[in-house]
Structure 1
Amino acid sequence: MAASPYATTQYNSEQFVESCGAILFNLSDSQNKKVCLVYYRAGDEWLLAKGRRNCGESRHEAALREVREETGYKARLYPVTMRTRAPPMDEQGHMPDKPRTYQDLTEPFMVTIRQLGGHNANDIKMIWWYIAVLEEVGIECDGGEKEFMPKFFPLEQAKKMLSFQNDAAVLEQAIHLVDAC
């Protein structure tokens, strides 16, 4: 049996966890776009809403649930134009594996892979990122989880508020995709 010509790492189900998150935008005022960050009280950190995917739950359902739980806001996925290596839904025959531009996608726009360390240095967390908007503008949030405090910020301020550079890179890409629409 031949080895794959590609560098490959495999993880069994005990070695990885999937998380999903969404960058929640308020686009009701196109001249004053805002994004929701969550303040995690215990860590004194500003973060993007995300959390673990439950068994049997789709990734996009997990992303929207986590936004609701951590921010208290109902959201929906926001379609954007983006490049992806995924083939179109109506793929006919073989398509080369290369990036293509598609309009109105609500697919993950980024994935983050973190090495978790701990007792097994090979454990990882995969975070699938989506873009979302408020389902209803002007509706107050219903609280969300008590360890988080949601707050909307203008886009440039939000980039500076985030506690971690990796989150800022995710937000930067989300802003780019939303601004291109």
Structure 2
Amino acid sequence: MVASLKNATQYTSEQFVESCGAILFDLTASQNKKVCLVHYHAKDEWLLAKGRRNCGESRHEAALREVFEETGYKAHLHPVTMRTRAPPIDEQEHMPDEPRSYENLTEPFMVTMRQLSDEGGNDVKIIWWYIAVLDKDFLPSGGGEEQFAPAFFPLQHALEKLSFPNDRIVLQRAIDIVEAQ
């Protein structure tokens, strides 16, 4: 048997949890784009909307559900132009594994791998990140969990408001993609 030349880490279903989130943009005013953050009252933290994917639920469904649950806003995935290593849906022949630019994608634009234990355990949370925009009728529709309060901020202010540096990296990447459209 030949040993792989690549490093790999494997996790059983008991060692990982999948989460999905979406950066929720308000693009109704093209010069005044805003993004929704959620204020977690218990810890006085400003976060991006995300949460665990349920069994049998697609990742994009989980991202939109979590946005609704944490903000009360209905949204849809926003098609963007971005680079990805994934081949096109109509792949006709072998394509090299390298980044290419595609238009109108609603795929995750980033993934975060977060250790679940501070004591060096081997459990991880995998967070798939999407770009979403408010639905046309964007009044809160009664959703939203009580421990969270949503608020929209201008893009730069949202970056400064976030409590965690890793969330700032995710948001900055989403802003870069949306601004390039």
Give the TM-score band, short-chain normalised.
over 0.9
- SS at 1:93 equivalent: coil
Pairing 1:129–2:129 present: yes
What is the TM-score normalised by the length of structure 1? 0.97
Contact residue 28 and residue 137 of structure 1 kept, 8 A = no
What is the 5 A alignment of 1:27-176? 27-117=27-117, 121-176=121-176
Give the AA of the match of 1:72. G
Q: Output the CA distance in 2 between the equivalents of 1:94 and 1:143.
A: 45
* CA distances 1:36-73 after superposition (whole Å, capped 9, x unpaired): 00000111100000000000000000000000000000
2:37 maps to amino acid: L
- Which 4+ stretches in 1 moved above 6 angstroms? none
In structure 1, distance between residues paired with 2:143 and 2:61:
20
**SS of 1:69 mapped into structure 2:** helix
Distance 1:139 1:149 in 2: 14
Deviation at 1:102, TM superposition (A): 0.2
Assess, with a 3 A threshold, how the Cα gap between structure 1 residues 122 and 138 changes in structure 2: closer, same or farther: closer
Structure 1: which 5+ runs fail to align?
Answer: none
Q: Alpha-carbon deviation of 1:118?
A: 5.8
Q: Which residue of 2 aligns with 1:23?
A: 23
Q: Is the 8 A contact 1:50 1:67 kept in 2?
A: yes
- Structure 1 contact 26–137 (Cα < 8 Å) conserved: no
Q: 1:119 offset after TM fit, Å?
A: 7.1
* Cα shift readout 1:146-165 (whole Å, capped 9, x = no counterpart): 00000000000000000000
Using the size of structure 2 for normalisation, the TM-score is 0.97
Give the Cα–Cα distance (whole angstroms) in 1 for the partners of residues 47 and 143 of structure 2: 17
Query: Unaligned regions of 5+ residues in structure 2, if any?
Result: none
Q: Which amino acid aligns with 1:39?
A: H
Q: What is the number of residues matched between the two proteins?
A: 181
Aligned 8 A contact 2:113 2:125 in 1: yes
Give, in angstroms, the shift of residue 140 of structure 1: 3.3
Question: What is the aligned partner in structure 2 of residue 7 from structure 1?
Answer: 7
Q: Percent identity?
A: 70
- In 1, the alpha carbon distance for the partners of 2:165 and 2:53 equals 23
- In the alignment, what sits opposite 1:177? 177
CA contact (8 A) 1:74 1:136 kept: no
Aligned partners of 1:80 and 1:104 also within 8 Å: yes
- Given that residues 116 and 125 in structure 1 are in contact (C-alpha distance below 8 angstroms), is that contact kept between their aligned partners in structure 2? yes
